[in-house]
Amino acid sequence: ELIKASEFPWVSSNIYDKETGERWAWVKPWTIVEKKGLKIGITGATTAGTEHMSYPENIKGLEFRNEVAS
């Protein structure tokens, strides 16, 4: 719900759907923003330890792969 309500892109290259093995559809691995005529590339990754730090119901069905490899 938080992601859907946000007015900005959520960026993380290493969150995958456990069932399909595909990148999680609600986040992008990267984005490009333009500020004052300059295009800026932004990449993101979520710590692979997230599954040990979050409530299980908040990350149900998600897999957090190695940040460096992604």
Q: What is the pTM of this model?
A: 0.81
Q: Supply the range of the domain harboring residue 40.
A: 2-64
The four Cα atoms 32, 66, 48, 26 give a dihedral, to 10 degrees, of 40
For residue 16, what pLDDT is reported?
Answer: 96
- Among 25, 8, 7, smallest CA distance to 16 is for 25
Q: How many domains does the chain have?
A: 1
Residue ranges in the chain whose pLDDT is less than 50:
none
Q: What is the pLDDT of residue 8?
A: 86
Query: Which pair of structure tokens corresponds to residue 32?
Result: 């490009």
Is residue 23 a part of any domain in this protein?
yes
Please indicate, yes or no, if residue 69 is contained in any of the structural domains: no
Per-residue model confidence (pLDDT) at position 3: 79
Residue 2 has what pLDDT?
Answer: 77
Whether 38 and 15 have beta carbons less than 8 Å apart is answered as no
26 assigned to some structural domain: yes
In the chain, the percentage of residues whose pLDDT exceeds 90 is 70
